[in-house]
Amino acid sequence: MTRLKKQQTYFILFFVMVAWGFNVTATKMLVENFMPVTMTALRIFVSGITVFLILFSIKKVRMLTKKEFPYVFFGGLFNVVAHQYFLSTGLTQTTATNGGLILGLGPLLTAILAVIFLGNVLTGIRVIGIVLGLAGVSFIVFQGSSGIDGVSIGDIYIFISILAQAASFILIKKGSETLDPRLMTGYMLLMGAVLLFVISLFVEPEGLASMANHSISLWAVFFASANIATAIGHMVYNSAIGKVGAAEASMFLNLNPFFALVGAAFFLGENITITHMLGFILILFGVVLGSGAYEEIYRKFKRNQEMTVENRGKYM
Q: Calculate the CA 269 to chain-centre distance.
A: 23
Instruction: Report pLDDT for 136.
Output: 81
Least confident of 1-5, 102-106, 245-249: 245-249
% residues pLDDT > 90 (the chain): 36
Higher pLDDT: 310 or 295? It is: 295
Which phi and psi angles does 254 have, rounded to 5°? -65, -15
Instruction: Report pLDDT for 146.
Output: 46
Higher pLDDT: 52 or 308? It is: 52
| The dihedral formed by the CA atoms of 124, 109, 296 and 280, expressed in degrees to the nearest 10 | -90
Q: Which residues contact 216 (CB under 8 A, 6 or more apart)?
A: none
Give residue-wise pLDDT tens across range 211-270.
888 899 999 999 999 999 999 988 888 777 767 666 566 667 777 888 888 899 888 898
Give residue-wise pLDDT tens across range 111-125.
788 788 877 777 888
The yes-or-no verdict on residue 148 having pLDDT over 50 is no
Higher pLDDT: 2 or 240? It is: 240
Work out the pLDDT band at 1, boundaries 50, 70, 90: low
Instruction: Report pLDDT for 151.
Output: 67
Say if residues 113 and 172 touch (Cβ distance below 8 Å). Answer: no
Give residue-wise pLDDT tens across range 22-31.
999 999 999 9
The yes-or-no verdict on residue 150 having pLDDT over 70 is no
Its pTM stands at 0.81
Query: How many residues are listed for the chain in this entry?
Result: 316
The Cβ of residue 281 has, within 10 Å, a number of other Cβ atoms equal to: 14
What is the rounded distance in angstroms from the CA atom of residue 226 to the CA atom of residue 221? 9
Instruction: Report pLDDT for 147.
Output: 47
- Average confidence (pLDDT) over 74-95: 92
Q: Which residues contact 235 (CB under 8 A, 6 or more apart)?
A: 51, 54, 182, 185
Give residue-wise pLDDT tens across range 166-182.
888 778 777 878 888 88
Residue 206 DSSP class: T
- Average confidence (pLDDT) over 103-113: 82
Spell out the alpha helix ranges (H) of the chain: 3-31, 36-57, 68-76, 83-90, 96-103, 106-117, 124-141, 153-175, 181-203, 216-224, 233-244, 246-251, 255-268, 274-290, 293-314
Instruction: Report pLDDT for 305.
Output: 77
> Quick one: CA dihedral 16, 283, 123, 120, positive or negative?
negative
What is the rounded distance in angstroms from the CA atom of residue 241 to the CA atom of residue 172? 13
Structural domain boundaries of the chain?
3-314
The Cβ of residue 193 has, within 10 Å, a number of other Cβ atoms equal to: 24
- Average confidence (pLDDT) over 47-53: 95
Q: Which residues contact 295 (CB under 8 A, 6 or more apart)?
A: 123, 125, 126
- Average confidence (pLDDT) over 56-73: 92
The yes-or-no verdict on residue 307 having pLDDT over 80 is no
Which phi and psi angles does 110 have, rounded to 5°? -60, -40
Instruction: Report pLDDT for 310.
Output: 67
User: How far separated are the first and last CA of the chain, in Å rounded?
Assistant: 28
